[in-house]
Amino acid sequence: METRQHTIKKSVTVSGVGLHTGVVSNMTFLPARPGHGIKFQRTDLPGMPTVDADADLVVDVSRGTTIEQSGARINTVEHTLAALVGMQIDNVLIQIDGPEPPIMDGSSIQFIEQLREAGLEEQNVMRDFFDVPSGIFYSEPERNVELAALPLNDYRLTVMVDYNSPVLGSQHAYLNDISQFADEIASCRTFCFLHELEMLHKNNLIKGGDLNNAIVIVDRVVKDEELEHLAKLFNKEKVEVKQEGILNNIELRYKNEPARHKLLDLVGDLALVGKPLRAQILAARPGHAANVAFARKIKRAMKKIQPDQAPAYDPATTPILNINQITQKLPHRYPMLLIDKIIHLDDKSVIGVKNITMNESFFQGHFPGNPVMPGVLQIEAMAQTGGIFALSTVDDPNNYWTYFLGIDECRFKKMVLPGDTLVIRCELTAPIKRGIFKMKGQAFVAGNLVCEAVLTASLFKKDAREV
């Protein structure tokens, strides 16, 4: 999986009819800044309101997933979201001049093709994964639906469907690596059963449905007069079917294409959690209603995680800033440069790392027989980490100094000793005003909180300071 955030290099547009609304729309993917996330924007509505891709904004799951915010509604978002997750794109603005993304051929492949045409751009910010800490389970016993998310340092999905149909039978699909989505899952089309068509039309759904954008499964003998009726329904001269099979005898792209499409839908619906997931997802007979309920349950579990939980740190991951890059931004030098690398930086937070060794200069005089890192230097390391964040907000950081204005609510929880690795997180607690930053800083060793404080600092332009 990609460890840094990605957007696209240029805007691309797809056009077509919406499956359920029947409205033709133009949908444009645009690059977005780090931390932006995935947002839709209704350009056809007054004020062009935006809608976040968020499970809490889902308002309808009738044969698709619909989100709504500020009076703007986007229907059937799952295929679009699945393509973005499959391409591991974190930040994009999707402008659309209608209520529903184009259905295209009923899969995500044409979105994938356009996103590949746009090209991916790596951003200098680490991805904010949600690592499932323990099993999260959802079930609907009356429909025999079960979904589970299990801890895994990767993103894998397995889906089982069983429609009690002589045509489909029981099917399985799996995705062992999200990078395989484009080649293994994205081209799998949406489907329905013949007996569902009349119901869908009566309920004002699939107004844009066509035999070119959906698979219609026929699991019973169909009389000639019914085929004539279906031809009129789809505005075709003629439709035909084998005794049991697919309407118009369309060839499946995979024997288990329906199961693969259900996996596609699941990937899209789980995008509404709002963060890339690291988990093993197991799903039996999933559907949009269950998927969204499951996404909401995962999101609740994400919110329950204590704010004091230590950030994940993998020493093998390439840092955002190494020591040489840090010295280009901070004026500090030995013995007062107290951070070794930056492993996360976005528009709200920063995470730095300091490796504590017995060779630190302060151990010579600070409890020489019982070496302990001075608390004031822990705060200084925290301030330098926050200083990197402050300097990242200006275009010309080399022309600025960062100065302390205040330290509040400072607490020391545990001693920091030689051999410890100090992982420092600073998060913005208020909007930046006139160059003033207020951040909550926390330092961790081996997952335990050792120090915390609220820091206030200011950016000064070098020429202004010298005057």
Active centre residues (catalytic): 288, 366
Tell me if 30 sits within 8 A of 11, measured CB to CB: yes
Q: What is the DSSP string of 29-67?
A: EEE--TT--EEEEETTSTT--EEE--GGGEEE-SSS-EE
Give the C-alpha separation, 184 to 192, whole Å: 21
Give the C-alpha separation, 208 to 216, whole Å: 14
**H or E stretch at 272:** none
Query: What letter represents residue 200's amino acid?
Result: L
Q: Tell me which residue of 265, 261, 325 sits closest to 289, measured CA to CA.
A: 265
Measured CA to CA in angstroms, residue 325 lies from 50, 53, 309, 353, 384 at distances of 37, 35, 28, 14, 14
Bridge partners of 407, per DSSP, are 455
Find all residues with CB under 8 Å of 226, minimum gap 6, and list them.
none
Tell me if 55 sits within 8 A of 274, measured CB to CB: yes
Tell me if 257 sits within 8 A of 67, measured CB to CB: no
Q: Please count the helices (runs of H) and the strands (runs of E) in the chain.
A: 10, 25
Bridge partners of 126, per DSSP, are 4
Tell me if 266 sits within 8 A of 174, measured CB to CB: no
Give the C-alpha separation, 204 to 211, whole Å: 18
Q: Tell me which residue of 333, 294, 332, 273 sits closest to 130, measured CA to CA.
A: 273
The β-bridge relationship of strands 277-284 and 155-162 is parallel
Q: Would you report the helix, strand and coil content of the chain in percent, each value rounded to 5?
A: 25, 35, 40
